[in-house]
């Protein structure tokens, strides 16, 4: 019988791997069922999934707002603040950007959603924040946290597995610029929330403070200014995108030759 003392989840333990495998299985099943379907149908499924995830995200944040244990654990960071929980972090912004990207057929945005969104969510999954590591998956805050992030991962991947987008090397320069523009928008939002006093610790995309992130601390040493210190992240972003794009491009060209 499952209880709140069972199903404890930590990065890469059995519960984590099993849960991740279940979400990946959902993506595979959906991709198979949608094979041969119209682009309109694929978009409808993906957008609907993002909307459901966003609704689940709001419900999860409600339970987090009334979670006394989480509030106590994060008292040093100011506790819960709705203005600091908006879906504009790298790990969850895909819920909003994917519908916009696929409806507008904006390749730069789809590139961001495929590469950056899942990457941010994976970082959150493998490096969970205070109150999200070592607790039962059955707790509302844990279901919300892991459910949201796993969904963001597979929704980002679905753009490609559904055949809605195939990244090419020509997409990468615009994708990098788009990423910096989205990050700047997150920085601007953070500064507005700070200036207005709505949330003095607002730090979307970690653009105002590094919050102890080892990599960002290094870049902050190079450029000790808010937002500017994330620009060197492109030194990692570009090779990462190339590592994925080159094999995908080679595979697509191989398929075209076989058909020809």
Delimit the domains of the chain by residue range: 1-165, 168-260
What does the alpha-carbon distance between residue 164 and residue 98 come to, in Å, rounded to a whole number? 11
Provide the pLDDT for residue 2: 54
For the chain, the first-to-last Cα distance in angstroms comes to: 56
- List 9's β-bridge partners, or say none: 135
What are φ and ψ of residue 109, in 5° steps? -70, -40
Provide the pLDDT for residue 3: 57
Cα–Cα–Cα angle for 89, 94, 96, nearest 5°? 95
Question: Quick one: which of 157, 148, 96, 95 has its CA closest to 124?
Answer: 148
What does the alpha-carbon distance between residue 115 and residue 109 come to, in Å, rounded to a whole number? 10
Provide the pLDDT for residue 255: 74
pLDDT in tens, 183-231: 999 999 999 999 999 998 899 999 999 988 888 999 999 999 999 999 9
| pLDDT score of 80 more than 90 | no
Provide the pLDDT for residue 4: 57
Question: Quick one: which of 88, 84, 87, 114 has its CA closest to 101?
Answer: 114
| Mean pLDDT score of the chain | 92
Tell me the mean pLDDT in the region 52-58: 97
pLDDT in tens, 109-163: 999 999 999 999 999 999 998 899 999 999 999 999 999 999 999 999 999 999 9
Specify the range with the lowest mean pLDDT, choosing from 69-83, 108-122, 224-238: 69-83
Q: 75 to each of 78, 79, 131, 226, how far by Cα in Å?
A: 5, 5, 11, 25
Question: Quick one: which of 119, 129, 180 has its CA closest to 152?
Answer: 119
Question: Quick one: which of 12, 16, 22, 23 has its CA closest to 137?
Answer: 16
pLDDT in tens, 9-40: 999 999 999 999 999 999 999 999 999 999 99
């Amino acid at each position: 019988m499952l209880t709140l003392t069972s199903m404890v989840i930590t990065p890469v333990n059995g519960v984590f791997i099993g849960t991740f495998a279940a979400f990946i299985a959902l993506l595979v099943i959906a991709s198979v069922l949608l094979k041969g379907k119209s682009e309109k149908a694929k978009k409808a499924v993906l957008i609907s999934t993002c909307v459901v995830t966003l609704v689940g995200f709001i419900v999860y944040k409600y339970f987090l707002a009334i979670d006394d244990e989480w509030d106590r654990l994060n008292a040093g960071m100011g506790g819960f603040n709705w203005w600091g929980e908006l879906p504009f972090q790298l790990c969850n912004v895909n819920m909003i950007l994917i519908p916009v990207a696929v409806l507008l057929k904006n390749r730069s945005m789809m590139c961001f959603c495929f590469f950056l969104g899942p990457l941010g969510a994976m970082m959150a999954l493998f490096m969970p924040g205070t109150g999200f590591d070592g607790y039962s998956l059955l707790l509302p805050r844990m279901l919300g946290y892991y459910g949201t992030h796993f969904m963001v991962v597979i929704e980002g991947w679905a753009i490609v597995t559904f055949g809605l987008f195939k990244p090419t090397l020509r997409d990468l320069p615009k994708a990098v610029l788009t990423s910096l523009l989205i990050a700047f928008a997150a920085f601007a939002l953070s500064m507005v929330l700070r200036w207005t006093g709505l949330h003095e610790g607002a730090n979307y995309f970690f653009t105002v403070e590094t919050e102890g992130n080892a990599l960002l601390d290094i870049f902050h040493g190079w450029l000790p200014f808010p937002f500017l210190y994330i620009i060197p992240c492109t030194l990692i972003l570009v090779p990462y995108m190339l590592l994925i794009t080159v094999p995908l491009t080679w595979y697509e060209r191989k398929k075209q030759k076989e058909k020809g």
